[in-house]
Amino acid sequence: MSDHSYIQWKNWNIDHFGKVSPGLLYYYSRIFHDKRLSDRCRILEIGFGNGSLLGYLRQTGHDISGVEVNEHLVERARTSGYKA
């Protein structure tokens, strides 16, 4: 499967990169609820996909960057203002 075919298969729209749906907002807030993250951590996400966790962590004030093997997704991240 090519990089672009994978994006299509996952139904990841470029306009939704880094967006956090209400369901994911709830999910991430539960995951990180008890974690001891300082007010502004530097965080690296490996394999960020469509960037929802990048978006969540940015919204919560962290310095976030990511790595991804899919160059199309890296370009989306950079276009959306993320360090990738």
Extract the runs of DSSP E, i.e. beta strands, from 1-84.
42-46, 63-67
* pLDDT on residue 37: 73
In percent, the amount of the chain with pLDDT more than 70 equals 96
Return the higher-pLDDT residue of 60 and 33: 60
The answer, yes or no, to whether residue 40 has pLDDT greater than 90, is no
**Torsion angle in degrees (nearest 10) through CA of 36, 41, 46, 49:** 100
Separation CA 25–CA 27 (nearest Å): 5
Average pLDDT, the chain: 91
